[in-house]
Amino acid sequence: MIAVVFPGQGSQKPGMGKELFEAKAVTKDIFEMVTSATSVDMQELCFDSDEETLRQTQNAQLALYTVSLAAFASLLSMVPELKVDVAAGHSVGEYAALAAANVVSVTDGARLVQKRGKVMADAGKTQPGTMAAVLGLDREALEKVCQDAGGVVVANDNCPGQLVISGEVEAVKRASEMASTAGAKRVLPLNVSGAFHSPLMEVPAMEMAKSLNATPFQQGRYKVYANVTAEPGTAANQWPRLLEDQLRRPVRWTETIQNMIRDGVDTFIECGSGEVLSGLIKRISKDVKTLAVGDVASLEKTVAALNAK
For the segment 26-45, the average pLDDT, to the nearest whole number, is 96
Q: 233-248: buried (b, 16+ CB within 10 Å) or exposed (e) per residue?
A: beeeeebbebbbbbbb
The answer to whether residue 90 is catalytic is no
From 74, 91, 211, 298, active-site residue: 91
Of the candidates 7, 15, 26, the one whose C-alpha atom is nearest the C-alpha of residue 64 is 7
Fold classified for 129-189: Alpha-Beta Plaits (3.30.70)
Exposure of 231 by Cβ count < 10 A (0-12 exposed, 13-18 middle, 19+ buried)?
middle
Q: Residue 126: pLDDT above 90?
A: no
Percent above pLDDT 70 for the chain: 100
Instruction: Tell me how long the chain is.
Output: 309
What is the average pLDDT score of the chain? 94
Query: Please, which pLDDT band fits residue 239 given cuts at 50, 70 and 90?
Result: very high
pLDDT tens across 203-221, in order?
Answer: 999 999 999 999 999 999 9
Q: Residue 268: pLDDT above 90?
A: yes
pLDDT of the residue at 123: 84
Cα dihedral across residues 122, 229, 156, 278: positive or negative:
negative
Phi, psi at residue 207, to the nearest 5°?
A: -65, -45
**Computed over its alpha carbons, how large is the radius of gyration of the chain?**
18
Amino acid identity of residue 128, one-letter, is P
Q: Residue 32: pLDDT above 90?
A: yes
Domain 2-124+199-307 bears CATH identifier 3.40.366.10? yes
Q: Compute the distance between CA of residue 309 and CA of residue 291 in angstroms, rounded to an integer.
A: 13
Percent above pLDDT 90 for the chain: 89
Of the candidates 308, 273, 267, the one whose C-alpha atom is nearest the C-alpha of residue 293 is 273
Structural domain boundaries in the chain: 2-124+199-307, 129-189
The answer to whether residue 91 is catalytic is yes
pLDDT tens across 4-27, in order?
Answer: 999 998 888 999 999 999 999 999
pLDDT of the residue at 245: 96
Q: Are 38 and 114 in contact (CB under 8 A)?
A: yes
Residues 6+ apart with CB under 8 A from 256: 88, 225, 227, 230
Q: Are 5 and 260 in contact (CB under 8 A)?
A: no
pLDDT tens across 178-193, in order?
Answer: 999 999 999 999 878 7
From 11, 68, 176, 197, active-site residue: 197
Exposure of 201 by Cβ count < 10 A (0-12 exposed, 13-18 middle, 19+ buried)?
buried
pLDDT tens across 63-112, in order?
Answer: 999 999 999 999 999 999 999 999 999 999 999 999 999 999 999 999 99
For the segment 223-234, the average pLDDT, to the nearest whole number, is 95
pLDDT of the residue at 22: 94
